[in-house]
Structure 1
């Protein structure tokens, strides 16, 4: 059968000129990729009865024009066109903005179909689309797909291209799921489901099609995970480290603090993995400040004592320097050699470190993406630790992994994920969780205030800085926006410089170069900047023990997990720390978030509430976790389907006939394409 993924999208009639290039911007170069590009919602053009609709609804109605349309001009280009329309039984005002050219078409007695937003109080419809029945094709009574497109592509053109692709190639869409699963859940055949997703006759058909494709998407994702686990646990091509347990226990006893029970349990799981002949692939998740770094350091110690090297990869230079200092303090008494490999080294420094690394004179290297460059070689790499893994791409992590003979991999994240969700989402990983905070850490006192209390907040900042402490001030935007009435970092920086002339106020945002960001953070870490105004680039991992105050402007615009990450930047030293959230009291969702933040410091409880509040949202945004982006499936609302898919995939890969039977050929080909059946590691 013709492979639709190797067939250029230009084979679809009408896809010519600049269109193939514009489609490439959406990641579409083949017919298969075009058909896989699903709508994210539908416009419902079913005619509605005005007596049955609610204020603010987007509706489609049919009526008759009465009276003369009126145009009001504002400035040179802006206009407001109004027209009276009888939509039985009501007399309605239809309003168009900047569409004055329609006036000549709106003649008394003409029939019109209007789509727009309904204002119940004014009996007014703000029109977004108008149709004149009998003139060309009609959308009346249909569901029209809405796609996520770039500015160069219109919904109308894309819908037409999709229809044409389905006419030409719809019958060639291959089935990938075995009959037993289609029958088990009563799922539509694939070609019917794909067609109905793009062209549903009604909502029920669209939902049946979505159900089928969501299951397929989650099943294939889980099949990759379960096949990888099955094959990886059979393969003995990893490193079985001869771990010296008495030496590791002595190292742990020498630490300047006692490990929590949680840390001890997780370390035991990791040491058990290190001794196995297959590769460890473990996710270590723990709340902000739960002590993940010490667990990682103990694992690196065990690997070095077993005669291997370790690598710790972090997203920023400042974090790399911070981790290097921490490891030096812990490893120095044992003669373990560490090195720092970042982009800002001189050529000579870099050459010396690379040579030492290759000769095995360096035991543990800490670095940024500089670790994965082609000229970096290890003598015996045994363990790779990645911190805040979602900041690295899949390829970056797997390149570092390939620099050893299938080294063990420990991935750390400070974004707490409810355990059941973590086990399901990271199906290829074993999941370890740190629940306790080290003894002696003072809970951060959190307050939610309104913008009217800003003077008191400024007084609070002044008192903390005068006492020799430092403060973060976080804003949602870099500079002023016409669309959003929220504080921006540049204005707040200027305001605080005026308020605190005796103190140094720094500014940090995403448009600065990495070098500029690192310089500001070094100044803040060294105590030379007293107040740091920043956007959320500050979110992950920075450790400044002297910072005791976190102020967040427009806190109702941030997700709960993000607010918790920001709060975790303070409370790292001996002094009591505070978090002040400035929010709009009228924002109901924001109010719920502020309550959650003032109720608890527990990141896992925060994560649970975040899931509840966001519902079918992006709790797993790409920034937050490294969980895959699905085309249709939603990690929250489709969680039960994910669990079913995981169980089905796990059961299937255990069967000998899965690896040989013809019915499962499409699934084995899928695994081959995803490189699960080769020696390539899944990341």
Structure 2
């Protein structure tokens, strides 16, 4: 073949007719390159193990000499059983093949055969799945297993991949610079592709996989870093200038000491704001870790620089709480704070609009009312979005467009594992508050069976009798024939009958926004003692008096969600409790309950959640931004991901990457995928 093109259609390969081409297309293989990059998802170990070392019902490969003639019997319609006796390691073994009558003429007395199947230690028999004439080939002890579909057999797919490798491997071009191959002792790309499909040993397979995983992660991280660079270059922000001693003096007026993590986050954000490029940073910290304090310090820095700040939150009640909680910190500073929500109407609303436009307020706290027409800022320097995943991309973008390229800070209490932060938010800088303020009492978490409900309700009554409040969370709004789980409407009725001296509120997703606000306000103000709710309270209001969280059917919830729900309590001075009502049938359900009892650390919980559910389920299948890798796994290959990110950062920031010839394959990749045009990678 004169010219090798990996993007040739698979039909060019010998043996791939129209029918097989359609079958390959059904599993996403259209080109030769896609066929070569259809990597095995596991390997079967065909290494020979001595008979006496085999466990009962173990899948194994044995080799031996055929004794006597094979015996073939038919039963039922077109069903057969072929029985063969052979001597392996001096022991007489019986091997049985089902529905493979054609092998009778291939198995000859006195000749060696190699068999793979399930071993019965007690009867010294094997039910055979794989057969090979002669002694085993040591270089083929690892057999690749591929995902297949339709009428395509594993044998056919392997044959097509072998053909593609033989005819097209010269078209597999190296993209990694020589220095990286040497630095990490990586095989060349062609060699790695051969080894991943035909590994000669475990060691060879390990190095081939390491090579392909590193390349996938490096290319992805290069795209992310290039995207970050192009955003920075395109979005020349407003370089902040402020009185540093004045900011330090303000921090000293805060009535408690900042944690090390809070100080670090403030420094990272302020350093960003001092740069001419526009800040694009994610601040993540567990519930109660003190993100609001970090936000108010950096908003004060903007005030000292003559700029306004906007803090956008998901609900009115949360906006009002932030508005009230910020006031005491700025009492003696001259900072003027405004509130803008859907409830601010008429002349009051007009007055807030005017104050924002003329600079009469320095900090505006609000809901999505901030992004409506009529809101014009005089000099917006910083946009903070709290629980940013609760707002659509367009809503966040609209708020950012209210100023002349303001700095942007996203805040979230949903702990995102570092693996996810690196891969999904790679085009953002990430600050993490991974330390809790001193003196906070850890929430005590217990799991209990549903049969213990009476005791659980009695325990909550004791807390209510001491003037405290509690949440009760249910998975569904009303009864479902599909799922045998408690529902909010029934539970509300039961608890209203049980707690006759206390007001029991009901909250769920089918209430209107105004109704939800009213229920939450009643709970926050203490008029409602017990709030029965679905997961709509997962991110919401701060009620320091709530000390008990009871979650029905807790094994139906993911770990991250359970942790978010638990974070609704433990906000006051009293000891708080989280009780998980569950009868988990699965090992995963039991493991989730155990993890919740063992740790209050949201980052530990999120890492465990990621391990249990995998990256796709963790973010939700519809979540864009999660990269698709052919071989790499952001959880298992975390170290390689970190290394690739550091290497990508160094490359993107070095002049040689943009000029020297050895990096041209990597630059070509960035051009092809649009990262240099500021487009997000798929």
How many angstroms does 1:292 deviate by?
Answer: 0.3
User: Residue in 1 aligned with 2:380?
Assistant: 381
2 CA distance for matches of 1:570 and 1:497? Answer: 23
Q: For the structure 1 residues 69 and 454, does the alpha-carbon distance in structure 2 shift closer, same or farther, using more than 3 Å as the test?
A: farther
Q: Which runs of 5+ in 1 are unaligned?
A: 71-80, 95-101, 135-139, 148-152
2 CA distance for matches of 1:425 and 1:537? Answer: 25
How many angstroms does 1:523 deviate by?
Answer: 1.4
How many angstroms does 1:154 deviate by?
Answer: 4.2
Q: For the structure 1 residues 191 and 265, does the alpha-carbon distance in structure 2 shift closer, same or farther, using more than 3 Å as the test?
A: closer
The SS at the match of 2:146 is strand
The SS at the match of 2:300 is helix
How many angstroms does 1:659 deviate by?
Answer: 1.0
- Output one character per residue of 1:1-27: Cα deviation in whole Å (capped at 9) or x when no partner: 99978x99999988999989x97xx9x
2 CA distance for matches of 1:541 and 1:292? Answer: 15
The SS at the match of 2:563 is helix
- Output one character per residue of 1:161-212: Cα deviation in whole Å (capped at 9) or x when no partner: 9986984977655543223323433434445645765787887666444322
User: Residue in 2 aligned with 1:75?
Assistant: none
2 CA distance for matches of 1:161 and 1:375? Answer: 62
User: Residue in 2 aligned with 1:621?
Assistant: 618
How many angstroms does 1:578 deviate by?
Answer: 0.8
2 CA distance for matches of 1:666 and 1:33? Answer: 17
- Output one character per residue of 1:599-639: Cα deviation in whole Å (capped at 9) or x when no partner: 5544456567x38x938954993269998445233334323
User: Residue in 2 aligned with 1:494?
Assistant: 490
In the TM superposition, 1:223-262 aligns within 5 A as 223-227=222-226, 237-245=236-244, 248=247, 252=251, 259-260=258-259, 262=261
Contact kept, 8 Å, 2:472 with 2:551, in 1: the verdict is: yes
2 CA distance for matches of 1:371 and 1:33? Answer: 50
The SS at the match of 1:146 is coil
1 CA distance for matches of 2:479 and 2:310? Answer: 42
2 CA distance for matches of 1:267 and 1:555? Answer: 36
Q: For the structure 1 residues 579 and 210, does the alpha-carbon distance in structure 2 shift closer, same or farther, using more than 3 Å as the test?
A: same
Q: For the structure 1 residues 192 and 245, does the alpha-carbon distance in structure 2 shift closer, same or farther, using more than 3 Å as the test?
A: same
The SS at the match of 2:269 is helix
2 CA distance for matches of 1:226 and 1:277? Answer: 18
Say yes or no: does 1:222 pair with 2:218.
no
2 CA distance for matches of 1:118 and 1:499? Answer: 57
User: Residue in 1 aligned with 2:637?
Assistant: 638
1 CA distance for matches of 2:479 and 2:194? Answer: 44
Q: For the structure 1 residues 8 and 68, does the alpha-carbon distance in structure 2 shift closer, same or farther, using more than 3 Å as the test?
A: closer
How many angstroms does 1:469 deviate by?
Answer: 4.0
How many angstroms does 1:664 deviate by?
Answer: 1.4
Q: For the structure 1 residues 230 and 141, does the alpha-carbon distance in structure 2 shift closer, same or farther, using more than 3 Å as the test?
A: closer
Q: For the structure 1 residues 68 and 174, does the alpha-carbon distance in structure 2 shift closer, same or farther, using more than 3 Å as the test?
A: same
Contact kept, 8 Å, 1:472 with 1:551, in 2: the verdict is: yes
Say yes or no: does 1:443 pair with 2:439.
no
Say yes or no: does 1:506 pair with 2:502.
no
Q: For the structure 1 residues 329 and 480, does the alpha-carbon distance in structure 2 shift closer, same or farther, using more than 3 Å as the test?
A: same
User: Residue in 1 aligned with 2:147?
Assistant: 146
2 CA distance for matches of 1:399 and 1:30? Answer: 41
Q: For the structure 1 residues 260 and 356, does the alpha-carbon distance in structure 2 shift closer, same or farther, using more than 3 Å as the test?
A: same
How many angstroms does 1:383 deviate by?
Answer: 1.7
Q: For the structure 1 residues 172 and 445, does the alpha-carbon distance in structure 2 shift closer, same or farther, using more than 3 Å as the test?
A: same
Per the normalisation by structure 2, the TM-score is 0.69
2 CA distance for matches of 1:667 and 1:30? Answer: 24
How many angstroms does 1:289 deviate by?
Answer: 0.3
2 CA distance for matches of 1:529 and 1:418? Answer: 36
Contact kept, 8 Å, 1:324 with 1:339, in 2: the verdict is: no
Q: For the structure 1 residues 487 and 183, does the alpha-carbon distance in structure 2 shift closer, same or farther, using more than 3 Å as the test?
A: farther
1 CA distance for matches of 2:492 and 2:151? Answer: 46
Q: For the structure 1 residues 65 and 584, does the alpha-carbon distance in structure 2 shift closer, same or farther, using more than 3 Å as the test?
A: farther
Comparing 211-220 with 624-633, greater Cα deviation is found at 624-633
Q: Which runs of 5+ in 2 are unaligned?
A: 64-69, 87-91, 108-113, 134-140
How many angstroms does 1:550 deviate by?
Answer: 1.5
How many angstroms does 1:526 deviate by?
Answer: 2.1
Per the normalisation by structure 1, the TM-score is 0.69
Contact kept, 8 Å, 2:80 with 2:101, in 1: the verdict is: no
2 CA distance for matches of 1:435 and 1:493? Answer: 38
Contact kept, 8 Å, 1:497 with 1:505, in 2: the verdict is: no
- Output one character per residue of 1:12-67: Cα deviation in whole Å (capped at 9) or x when no partner: 988999989x97xx9x7985995697568237496999987667867899998757
- Output one character per residue of 1:457-508: Cα deviation in whole Å (capped at 9) or x when no partner: 132234445555443334567899999xx96243x75256335424546364
How many angstroms does 1:640 deviate by?
Answer: 2.6
Say which one has the larger Rg. Answer: 2
In the TM superposition, 1:592-607 aligns within 5 A as 594=593, 597-603=596-602
Q: For the structure 1 residues 477 and 106, does the alpha-carbon distance in structure 2 shift closer, same or farther, using more than 3 Å as the test?
A: farther
Contact kept, 8 Å, 1:8 with 1:29, in 2: the verdict is: no
Comparing 625-634 with 58-67, greater Cα deviation is found at 58-67
Comparing 354-363 with 650-659, greater Cα deviation is found at 354-363
1 CA distance for matches of 2:612 and 2:292? Answer: 32
How many angstroms does 1:359 deviate by?
Answer: 7.2
How many angstroms does 1:409 deviate by?
Answer: 2.6
How many angstroms does 1:456 deviate by?
Answer: 1.2
Q: Count how many residue pairs are aligned between Structure 1 and Structure 2.
A: 640
User: Residue in 2 aligned with 1:667?
Assistant: 666
Q: For the structure 1 residues 627 and 534, does the alpha-carbon distance in structure 2 shift closer, same or farther, using more than 3 Å as the test?
A: farther
2 CA distance for matches of 1:479 and 1:206? Answer: 53
Q: For the structure 1 residues 659 and 64, does the alpha-carbon distance in structure 2 shift closer, same or farther, using more than 3 Å as the test?
A: farther
User: Residue in 2 aligned with 1:301?
Assistant: 300
- Output one character per residue of 1:366-409: Cα deviation in whole Å (capped at 9) or x when no partner: 56678779998765432232334456677876676566444323
User: Residue in 1 aligned with 2:550?
Assistant: 551
